[in-house]
Amino acid sequence: MDFILLNTFQVTLMPHTFIKKNIQKNCFIYIKAKDEIKILNRKSKYVLRTGDEAIVNLENLVLCNEFEHISTVSGFLFRTRFSSNYLKKVYIMNESLFKEDIVIEPINTIKNSIIDTCQTCFSMEKCVINDKKIDTRLIKVNRYIRANYREMITLNMLSDLVETNPVYLCNSYSRVFGFPPIYHLNNLKINEAKVLLVHTSLTIKEIVATLGFSNSSQFSSLFKRYVRQSPIEFKDKMLNELIMNTVSMPK
């Protein structure tokens, strides 16, 4: 296969923080910047402006937010049959930069695969299956979850929203998007909980109320299931890493 999707991610960086990602050989990262952010290498800096898309081939990738605003990037890790020699450093898809480092035919193949993957992972409303647009009820559910994930939402509420059976909704949603609607809901909650734990002074009880969990026990259990750590363990680990990274932050 020309293109194998390995995993997806979304990262939110507070002002003047950064995160490191290691990329295996012959693997690449596609990044879409929702806000301005910098990609750092040992000798180079690449600025991604809002809406920029990039394919990155760096063994040690550093995403850095040197700005006063919160920056969010989403993307995915993928592997291709093409050697990493076909793509050096960073290729910004909507600019003509770094073309001297690219063999055009393979990169066009990769770009086409990325467009298809983006439609599935990040623009679900545009996803097409068997040349037919997905059920508009699933689009409505997906939009509702994204707009209201901080509320207490159940599968029955979602099925009532689109006037269908809960089991049918769950199966249809999973078939199209690859996971059940409640998994998507909980994933959004947990991702925001990570940010609140590390970058705010909110207590567990306050986070539970903010994100629409029924109680602290439910939140802690769900957090541990998704993150493999308790909320307190995650917070302590991330704060320690932030302290260490701040000391050694690249200039």
Give domain limits for the chain.
3-122, 133-251
Beta bridge partners, 48, equal 37
CA dihedral over 219, 220, 221, 223, signed as positive or negative = positive
pLDDT tens string 30-77:
888 887 888 876 667 778 888 777 777 766 778 888 877 777 788 777
Task: Say what the pLDDT of residue 91 is.
Answer: 57
Against a cut of 0.75, is the pTM above it? no
Check for a shared fold between 3-122 and 133-251.
Answer: no
Task: Say what the pLDDT of residue 110 is.
Answer: 59
Q: Give the strand order in the sheet containing 3-13.
A: 3-13, 71-80, 27-33, 53-57, 89-92
Determine the Cα–Cα distance for residues 185 and 52; give it in Å rounded to an integer: 27
The amino acid that residue 88 corresponds to is: K
Give the orientation angle of helix 181-199 with respect to helix 136-148, to 10 degrees: 20
Q: Which superfamily is assigned to 133-251 in CATH?
A: Homeodomain-like (1.10.10.60)
pLDDT per residue, tens digit, the chain (251 aa), is 456 767 777 777 767 777 777 777 667 788 888 878 888 766 677 788 887 777 777 667 788 888 777 777 887 777 766 555 545 455 555 443 333 333 334 455 556 566 555 544 544 443 333 334 567 888 889 889 988 999 999 999 999 999 999 999 998 888 877 778 998 899 889 988 988 998 889 999 999 999 999 999 999 999 999 888 999 998 988 888 767 655 554 55
Q: Which superfamily is assigned to 3-122 in CATH?
A: Jelly Rolls (2.60.120.10)
User: Do 79 and 117 contact (CB within 8 A), yes or no?
Assistant: no
Task: Say what the pLDDT of residue 132 is.
Answer: 43
